[in-house]
Structure 1
Amino acid sequence: MSRSRKLHRLSNPDADERRAQRVLFRHLRDDTNANRGRMARRVRELQLLMAMDPVDFEQLVARLMEAMGLKVELTARSRDGGVDVRGIDTDPFRGGNVIVQVKRHRDTVPPSAVRDLYGTLRHDEAATKAVLVTTSKFGPSSHQFVTGKAVTLINGSELVGLLKHHGFHEVFAAAQEDASAEAAGLDGLPAIEVAAEPARLLLHWTGEQEYDIAALVCRGNVAVSDDHLVFYNNGSTPDGSVRLVTGYEDANACLMVDFDALPADVDRLVVIAAADTENHPDATMAGFAGPALILEAGPDQDAAVMHLADGAETNTAMRLGRFDRDSGGDWEFTPALAGYPGGLRQAVVAYGLEVEDA
């Protein structure tokens, strides 16, 4: 698919989509006491990480990488070249050599730090990917810079979620109660910026075929812009609110979505699966069997699972469903299935993007 796309008007709303059955899959706003309590605990959790000795913090990230299946080496601090940890992912498909830099920041990480790490990656003959881990967050310009580059940004909320997911609960024991946090002296630390933890949209299917996942950020039935189509050739929206992540756990595909960070006038997120016809011209959706879409909204909420229909041989792309924002600000998922014989190209044209061949 060409990267040259132009927006044109969409005149025909999808009648089947309007009639699609509404189901659970809700992302709640951060305006309840319970959510405010979770945000306060997250601040204390990040303060605990900030209070760690720098070497201990690097070792914690290294242990997390080992728990995720990587072979890890801590670099010598006198000659690390800005790299704190090196990891080797031995997976034959997604594996490679990873360089990791960790930054215990209280404020938003400046874009210059992201650019510097990318420069280190380009001059490192062994490295195939770079990861920047922080206790705070990244701004839109940093997310925009890493689009299409082998650089992953992990903010503080994502780091806490990964640590908990892989069993490092003891790190945050002192943040469970206010009294424990005060006893640890955390209240004396300066305020720390907390990024909302993005929801994870995980796609699973059976079979040997490879499929791509894509997301369209829309106002109604029209995509916001070319840059708001997130797919294999454009890994993030300009503000980083929707990101494509490779090699996440055992999922076949993963999207990270910060629903609260989506622009206020955006009210729809469309999820699409597509066959890789660029590398396999005869591929169809026939091998897309037993698909399931899983929403992990955060460590304090149970995951929601939606089992979807199998793909058909007549199609090369398939709309799996959409998230809609209601008048109260909540998001609800609709399994609005539709097949596209013309592949991802036909799917994005249906949402107002014009695709020109190279």
Structure 2
Amino acid sequence: MSRSRKLHRVSNPDTTERRAQRMLFRHLRDDTNANRGRMAKRVRELQLLLAMDPVEFEQLVARLMEAMGMKVELTARSRDGGVDVRGIDTDPFRGGNVIVQVKRYRDTVTPSAVRDLYGTLQHDRAATKAVLVTTSKFGPSSHQFVGGKPITLINGAELVGLLKHHGFHEVFTVAEAGVDGPEADGEGLPGIEVAAEPARLLLHWTGEDEYDIAALVCQGNRAMSDEHLVFYNNGSTPDGSVRLVTGYDDANACLMVDFDALPAEADRLVIIAAADTENHPAATMAGFAGPALILEAGADQPAAVAHLADGAGTNTAMRLGRFDRDTDGNWDFTPALAGYPGGLRQAVVAYGLEVEEAAPEPVG
């Protein structure tokens, strides 16, 4: 199949809307004292989690899951089979039975630990998905292994973000107070590898219709590979720099983006919203009302918001905009709306990916 690079533009906003939407996100990669201070604070926060009693830490993760709307059960340590917490996610679209393993590590989690959890998931008849939570971080091989599998990896920086997002600020009282003495510099607390804090890209819209968020990691107007399309069937890029996540109940969909970890050759990140035509063939973008992209670049930085145009009933997918990397390494966001009557399939073909045609339904 030939690779089409033509961009289809349907139902673009008028000049007045364009002017109103001309908002800019910027994710700065600086080395200022303020940025170093934020990283030092994050180290102290993770050290506090690492220094917790193992049972207390498991209980904290269980409380977090409850705050995210799950029904939770802590497993008996003598017969947990590698599972620390079990939860039932009641979300009607993305819910299921979840098994969770927590690892208070100071070093990068080994790929073997991720593979072992997958083995546990395969032998657990009740579980539909698995989550591995750590105080440290995961390497690229772990992210690559979980690609296409019902496994979510949550590193230390993301865990801190989730805890704060759901109101567990008291856990980090010492780190936030900036106390004097040994603990202020992390002395007396265990050393730890700190993952870069990813940005949270939240998509919000009004109404009851369900839509999916997708992202394309590109070099110019061409996707880097099939694996660099992040959507409901591929939850992460091979290096884990862009991932779909759940648990942010003040938004309809969320992407975690570690801009610093994106491939060096990548200079564009395209954001797309799409109707769920697989489960709802008649769905369109008509119900995509009042959409807004919200960029939370870090727990201590104010969020940036861009309000976008409503969807149209003639389309089943919609490009919302793109992040572009400039020569200084900064990422700028520009709303760049385009409608796709052919849905997400048409959108990814426009960026150079080949898509297999679906087999025709048998007659009768």
Q: TM-score, normalised by structure 1?
A: 0.91
Q: Give 2:203's aligned residue.
A: 203
Q: Give 2:249's aligned residue.
A: 249
Q: Give 1:214's aligned residue.
A: 214
Q: Give 1:265's aligned residue.
A: 265
Question: Tell me, which stretches of 5 or more residues in structure 1 are unaligned?
Answer: 1-5
Q: Give 1:111's aligned residue.
A: 111
Check conservation: 2:72, 2:88, Cα contact below 8 A: yes
Q: Give 1:307's aligned residue.
A: 307
Question: Secondary structure in 2 aligned to 1:194?
Answer: coil
Give the Cα separation in 2 of the matches to 1:258 and 1:96: 27
Question: Where do residues 3-42 of structure 1 align in structure 2 (5 Å cutoff)?
Answer: 8=3, 10=5, 22-42=22-42
Check conservation: 2:8, 2:340, Cα contact below 8 A: no
1:155 and 2:155 correspond: yes
Q: Give 1:319's aligned residue.
A: 319
Give the Cα separation in 2 of the matches to 1:332 and 1:230: 20
Check conservation: 1:136, 1:193, Cα contact below 8 A: yes
My pick for the range that moved more, 334-343 or 170-179, is 170-179
Question: Where do residues 332-347 of structure 1 align in structure 2 (5 Å cutoff)?
Answer: 332-347=332-347
My pick for the range that moved more, 226-235 or 279-288, is 279-288
Shift, 1:8, TM fit: 4.0
Q: State the number of aligned residues.
A: 351
Give the Cα separation in 1 of the matches to 2:331 and 2:40: 23
My pick for the range that moved more, 243-252 or 64-73, is 243-252
Check conservation: 2:102, 2:132, Cα contact below 8 A: yes
Q: Residues 55, 251 of structure 1: CA spacing in aligned structure 2 closer, same or farther, 3 A cutoff? A: same
Question: Secondary structure in 2 aligned to 1:63?
Answer: helix
1:139 and 2:139 correspond: yes
Q: Residues 167, 291 of structure 1: CA spacing in aligned structure 2 closer, same or farther, 3 A cutoff? A: same
Question: Secondary structure in 1 aligned to 2:37?
Answer: helix
Q: Residues 12, 203 of structure 1: CA spacing in aligned structure 2 closer, same or farther, 3 A cutoff? A: closer
Question: Tell me, which stretches of 5 or more residues in structure 2 are unaligned?
Answer: 359-364
Shift, 1:88, TM fit: 2.1
Q: TM-score, normalised by structure 2?
A: 0.89
CA offset digits 1:157-177 (Å, max 9, x no partner): 011111112222222122235
Q: Residues 110, 355 of structure 1: CA spacing in aligned structure 2 closer, same or farther, 3 A cutoff? A: same
The amino acid that maps onto 1:255 is: L
Check conservation: 2:44, 2:184, Cα contact below 8 A: no
Give the Cα separation in 1 of the matches to 2:294 and 2:185: 39
Give the Cα separation in 2 of the matches to 1:293 and 1:57: 33
Q: Residues 99, 13 of structure 1: CA spacing in aligned structure 2 closer, same or farther, 3 A cutoff? A: closer
1:86 and 2:53 correspond: no
What's the RMSD between the two structures over aligned residues? 2.4
Shift, 1:262, TM fit: 0.3
My pick for the range that moved more, 228-237 or 245-254, is 245-254
Shift, 1:183, TM fit: 4.4
Give the Cα separation in 1 of the matches to 2:66 and 2:332: 36
Q: % of aligned pairs identical?
A: 83
Check conservation: 2:87, 2:98, Cα contact below 8 A: yes
CA offset digits 1:24-63 (Å, max 9, x no partner): 2111214211111111111111111111111111111112
Give the Cα separation in 1 of the matches to 2:63 and 2:183: 27
Give the Cα separation in 2 of the matches to 1:142 and 1:136: 13
Shift, 1:67, TM fit: 1.9
Give the Cα separation in 2 of the matches to 1:310 and 1:7: 32
Give the Cα separation in 2 of the matches to 1:196 and 1:152: 18
Give the Cα separation in 2 of the matches to 1:106 and 1:245: 23
The amino acid that maps onto 1:314 is: T
Q: Give 1:292's aligned residue.
A: 292
The amino acid that maps onto 1:260 is: D
Q: Give 1:73's aligned residue.
A: 73
Question: Secondary structure in 1 aligned to 2:354?
Answer: strand
Check conservation: 1:295, 1:303, Cα contact below 8 A: yes
Shift, 1:246, TM fit: 3.9
Q: Give 1:3's aligned residue.
A: none
Shift, 1:284, TM fit: 1.8
Give the Cα separation in 2 of the matches to 1:247 and 1:188: 33
Q: Residues 281, 92 of structure 1: CA spacing in aligned structure 2 closer, same or farther, 3 A cutoff? A: closer
